[in-house]
Amino acid sequence: MILGDLRTVHTRQMWEQFIDGKPIQRQSLPDYVYRAWTNCRDHQINPRQVLDALTMPADEFEALKERYSELIEIAEPVLEMVLFSTSSAQFIAMLTSREGVILSVAGDLDSLSVQENYYNKPGVYCDNRYFSARATTLALQEKKPISLCGSEHFLEVFHNSLCYAAPVFNPTGDVAACVSIASSLSNSSPKTFSMVAAAANNISSQLHRKHLYESGNYLRSMVYSICETLPDALIALNNERAITYVNRAAEDLLDSQSANLVGKNIADFFDEPSLKDISYQIDANKKNSVSVTLKSRNTGKWLCRALPLQDANRATVGMTLFLASEKQIVQGITQVGGNRAYYRLEDIQGESPQLKNCVQLAKKIAKKANRVLITGESGTGKELFAQGIHNASPRHAQPFVAISCASIPRDLIEAELFGYVSGSFTGASKNGAVGKFELAQNGTLFLDEIGSLPMEAQGKLLRALQQNEITRIGGNVPIPVNVNVISANNVNLHELVNLRMFREDLLYRLNSVEINVPPLRERTGDTEFLIKYFIRTLSKAQGREVTISSSWLDPMLQQHWQGNVRELEHACETALILCDEEVLTRRHLPHSVRGNIDSEPREQLASECESLEENFRKWLVSALESCHGNLTTIAAKHDISRSTLYRKVQEYGIDVKSFRARRRKKVRH
């Protein structure tokens, strides 16, 4: 499943929760989407209902178009140019008045569903009471470009479509109208969104003119104006493959001015395999992109889409090349894929001095440190600290990419981190893949459970951190990277270094600053604070007011909470599920807590637990003896995680090296 699919599924899940009245993580949504959903709900709009389209009476609509005739005349050529630039996908382009009435529609309405066509016709009135979650009306309300994809629409009828909209401003700065394009969800593209915003800006600038010129020269100037705002490099060629036009992005790409480029053959700039691929795209009428190489650049690849240029009689007079660097594509994937941090350091709950010291240290280092190590037991909130540090850093607007080193198979972890080129190994994608380092470019890479990283991958990671560059698996071209790296582990890495399970030089490279998040049992007063916080927050989300009795609170405070904050939050949630009343009492205690107080006397229970611990310690000593101190062998043989073994070895104070020394002594004798 690709990143865009994950985002679509996640949004649909939040939509389902919202319309069912359940709490959602509103940080995961753009703020305007959440406001629109809330507005629709306040107006008691049924999200699953197919509403009647409100159409303006014909005589009133003709009068409205007359008032907007100048704007329509400016906008229609621009909308046609937008459709031309997106000809590889089926879009319709619309112009909507500031009153919310669709003035004109260009493109293929048959590309949309019947129901969607019903709402996208001239004269249809986008009434706020019914369509406040449409991109068109949101752009008019918010006075900024708006993107709505799939389930971001409140009405389910639009869940298979996308709409990009941007407001048009008159010379006084007031909203005059809105331009938008719509299509099926599969055609989602950040570059198309940028094109709509550029078209709206172009129309706005034309409104400053009192008189419009209908000559071909003026029309071309509008087209060129749009082309100049495109993020892609655009190169127009005639039938002899000579350059006839380049935009500013293409000037930067070819490192020359337009006057020096026009008239030159495209073969002067691309290598022979690239030219063959481009020609094949045109001859075979292919609309997908191909990877090309420039002669003037030794590194980097560009994705090229080639489209034929036709005159008024549909005769081919040349071609247009659209080129985007792979870095641009990666950045787009990162933004659309939701690689961002949702929590701030201010969101970390607790009043204990131990926790506050950690938060203050995190705030202090966030502005400066680019290598941070976070340690602490499972469930203490290490990733919350990582996200908070990123959001407090100068890179907060850039990607936050997280990866769990323990959840990826050993033979795939390097591919996940560094990416791979085509044909690197069996099962590899024929197009290669981008690694987490490249996805996190200019942002933060969070390496959770770093202690589980295999030794061979540790060497590559060390080199990447030292050289600030990576090489994809199977490739030989170094790729510069600029990322902050935050690592986390629930086992003391210094102990892993002593056990020769972790490279000491990598530890020091990762550990510019170390934050040790204390376990819940060492945070004075935080257990009670968090219990009350979780109950208050969770009950409010359920629309309830639940109070806490001492018969429920006291056993909760006496619990050890081996799983720390994560386990405590789960226990509070379980209690609210069990409770149908408005007061939490002893009978609403989670089973793990109630079991401790319902069973035998505490002294006897503690004695049994100590006996279990002693049995485990004896077994571990025996296993170390039989496996000559090799923890990896024990973990594989008995299906126990290495992190658990490392923790128990440290907890029991067992000297693993002594078992290895005994084996060496036996070998010598």
Least confident window among 150-159, 463-472, 548-557, 612-621: 612-621
Q: What tens digit of pLDDT does each residue of 440-458 get?
A: 888 899 999 999 898 889 9
- DSSP strand pairing (146-149 vs 161-169): antiparallel
More confident residue, 384 or 608: 384
Cβ atoms within 10 A of the Cβ of 271, count? 12
Predicted confidence (pLDDT) at residue 224 exceeds the cutoff of 90? no
CA distances from 384 to 288, 513, 563, 641 (A): 40, 17, 16, 24
Residue 382's pLDDT is 93
For range 339-348, the mean pLDDT: 86
Residue 3 tokens, joined: 């990143």
Task: Name the maximum alpha-carbon separation found in the chain.
Answer: 107
What is the Cα–Cα distance from 124 to 126, expressed in whole angstroms?
A: 6
The pLDDT, as a whole number, for residue 565 is 92
CB atoms within 10 A of CB 32: 19
Residue 129 has pLDDT above 90, yes or no: no
Determine the residue type at 665. Answer: K
pLDDT recorded at residue 374: 94
Nearest alpha-carbon partner for 11 in 145, 172, 185: 185
Token pair, residue 219, equals 């029309």
What average pLDDT is seen over the chain?
Answer: 82
Residue 649's H or E segment, with its range, is helix 642-652
SS3 sequence, 166-218? EEEECCCCCEEEEEEEEEEHHHCCHHHHHHHHHHHHHHHHHCCCCCCCCCHHH
What is the DSSP track for 500-544? TSS-HHHHHHH-SEEEEPPPGGGSTTHHHHHHHHHHHHHHHHTT-
Structure tokens at 435: 């690694």
Token look-up 């030089």 returns 505
Q: SS3 for 92?
A: strand
Q: Which two tokens stand for residue 223?
A: 């087209």
As a whole number of angstroms, the distance between CA 183 and CA 11 comes to 18
Q: Which two tokens stand for residue 548?
A: 């806490």
What does the radius of gyration of the chain's CA atoms come to, in whole angstroms?
31
Taking the C-alpha atoms of residue 64 and residue 276, their distance in angstroms, rounded to an integer, is: 52
**275 band by pLDDT with thresholds 50, 70 and 90:** confident
Instruction: Tell me how far CA of residue 475 lies from CA of 1, 456, 479, 620, 624, in angstroms.
Output: 25, 17, 10, 44, 42
Reference 227, options 93, 322, 106; nearest CA is 322
Could you tell me the pTM of the whole model? 0.47
Q: Which residues of 564-589 are buried (b: 16+ CB within 10 A; e: fewer)?
A: bbebbbebbebbbeebeeeebebebb
pLDDT digits (tens, 9 = 90+) for 7-49: 678 888 999 999 998 988 888 888 899 988 998 888 888 888 8
In whole angstroms, give the CA distance from residue 86 to residue 164.
Answer: 13
- What kind and span of H or E run contains 154? none
pLDDT of residue 209: 65
Eight-class DSSP state of 428? -
The per-residue DSSP string of 258-319 comes to: HHHHTT-BGGGTB-HHHHHHHHHHHHTT--S-EEE-BTT-SS--EEEEEEEEE-TT--EEEE
For residues 431 and 565, the model is more confident at 565
Residue 304 contacts residue 253 (beta carbons within 8 Å): no
**Model confidence at 563: pLDDT above 80:** yes
Q: Is the pLDDT of residue 514 over 60?
A: yes
Residue pair 375/516 in contact by the 8 Å Cβ criterion: yes
- Reported as a pLDDT band with limits 50, 70 and 90, residue 329 is low
Asked if 530 and 349 count as a contact pair (C-beta separation under 8 A), the reply is: yes
